[in-house]
């Protein structure tokens, strides 16, 4: 398939995205709007270019913080959700499970309760306008230890909202190893919430083992260092532990892969693991979900049938109910067959 045909066809196939951070879906237009509102002057093209000129992880984090810093009130999140809606529509995503990380905003004085009201309102709006479901996982953060993570979880559960489905463990793995967070996962899972962990993104396979064995994480975010451990890959394949893989993000951080063609996504898929394609931070890494599918086709030799399986995996690995999953998979088959 030619590129234009590929994009138009794959856009029509309903997909789920399971690993994306909401602030990283913000558009450049929204960045300009927030900047003008905060500073009273326009954000120039040169400044925009500078903001996105990073080439390593620290540069990316600095840019991410700079964008977060532009928020001055809770209603600024309306822009983010409008951008999220457009992103989902552009990429043919019908179900999205996204991360939010409230700590930076609470630090600047935002009320968490008001944030949840804003999130619930915007999720409802997206559903009404497009039929797309957006569910949110709160990042308890691994950077400041277990107690801080438990406090975050407590704040989440004391302020529940429609669309909040559980917790994620994000941040630098080296600063907060998975094995330290077993108790907060136990609290979340036993209270009926979902719980997922970034693991094996910038630490070795033991981080993934710990996320599985100690945290009982229901999904692994990235998990790319699993490629170093045959037993782990077999265990994950046998138990169909879902992996949320974001190849462009992994190539950017350069920890375990230097190029898309050497990314272990292909190896995981061939081994029978339940792998899904995601974007992590689409604005910051310059790749949207359709780009990730195109890259898998052109740089990892995925056939259309294999990519269809990856799309079906995105629903299987989601937290939709069994009946919703089977309805979604039927819709995929139907859209797929409509090509003929
Ligand atoms: Zn992530």
Which residues have CB less than 5 Å away from ligand 1 (the ion)?
280
Q: Which of 173, 201, 203, 288 is catalytic?
A: 201
Give the model confidence (pLDDT) of 231-267 as tens digits: 999 999 999 999 999 999 999 988 899 999 999 999 9
Q: pLDDT (tens digit, 9 = 90+) per residue, 176-208?
A: 999 999 999 999 999 999 999 999 999 999 999
CA distance 137 to 165: 6
CA of 322 to the centre of ligand 1 (A): 26
- Domains, the chain, in order of start with CATH, read 3-337 (3.20.20.140)
Q: CA–CA separation, 297 vs 304, rounded Å?
A: 8
Q: Which long-range contacts (CB under 8 A, 24 or more apart) does 107-112 make?
A: 108/71, 110/71, 110/73, 110/74, 111/74, 112/155, 112/159
pLDDT at position 326 over 90: yes
Instruction: Count CB neighbours of 331 within 10 A.
Output: 14
pLDDT 10s digits, 49-84? 999 998 887 888 889 999 999 999 999 999 999 999
201 is annotated as an active-site residue: yes
Closest among 201, 124, 204 to 168, alpha carbons compared? 201
Please determine, for residue 340, whether its predicted confidence score (pLDDT) is greater than 80.
Answer: no
Cα(72) to centroid of ligand 1, in Å? 24
C-alpha 138 – ligand 1 centre gap (Å): 12
Residues forming beta bridges with residue 166, ordered by sequence position: 137, 194
Q: Determine the Cα–Cα distance for residues 287 and 41; give it in Å rounded to an integer.
A: 29
Separation of 139 CA from ligand 1 center, angstroms?
Answer: 10
């Amino acid at each position: 398939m030619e590129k234009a045909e590929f994009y138009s066809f794959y856009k029509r196939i309903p997909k789920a995205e399971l690993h994306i951070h909401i602030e990283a879906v913000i558009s450049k237009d929204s960045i300009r709007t927030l900047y003008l509102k905060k500073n009273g002057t326009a954000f120039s093209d040169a400044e925009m270019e500078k903001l996105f000129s990073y080439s390593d992880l620290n540069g990316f984090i600095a840019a991410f913080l700079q964008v977060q810093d532009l928020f001055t009130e809770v209603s600024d999140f309306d822009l983010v959700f409008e951008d999220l809606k457009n992103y989902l529509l552009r990429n043919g995503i019908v179900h999205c499970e996204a991360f939010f990380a409230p700590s930076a905003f609470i630090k600047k004085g935002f009320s968490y309760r008001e944030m949840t009201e804003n999130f619930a309102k915007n999720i409802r709006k997206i559903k009404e306008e497009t039929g797309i479901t957006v569910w949110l996982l709160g990042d308890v953060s691994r950077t400041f230890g277990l107690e801080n993570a438990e406090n975050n979880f407590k704040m989440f559960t004391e302020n529940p909202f429609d669309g909040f489905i559980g917790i994620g463990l994000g941040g630098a793995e080296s600063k907060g190893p998975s094995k330290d967070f077993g108790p907060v996962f136990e609290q979340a899972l036993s209270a009926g919430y979902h719980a997922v962990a970034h693991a094996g993104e910038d630490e070795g396979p033991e981080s993934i083992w710990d996320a599985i064995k100690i945290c009982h994480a229901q999904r692994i975010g990235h998990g790319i260092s699993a490629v170093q451990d045959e037993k782990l890959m077999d265990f994950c394949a046998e138990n169909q532990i879902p992996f949320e893989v974001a190849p462009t993000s992994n190539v950017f951080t350069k920890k375990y892969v230097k190029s898309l063609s050497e990314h272990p996504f292909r190896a995981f898929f061939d081994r029978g693991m339940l792998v899904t394609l995601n974007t992590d931070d689409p604005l910051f890494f310059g790749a949207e979900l359709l780009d990730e599918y195109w890259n898998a086709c052109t740089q990892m030799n995925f056939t259309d049938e294999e990519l269809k399986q990856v799309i079906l995996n995105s629903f299987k690995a989601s937290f939709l109910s069994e009946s919703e999953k089977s309805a979604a998979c039927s819709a995929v088959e139907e859209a797929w067959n409509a090509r003929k």
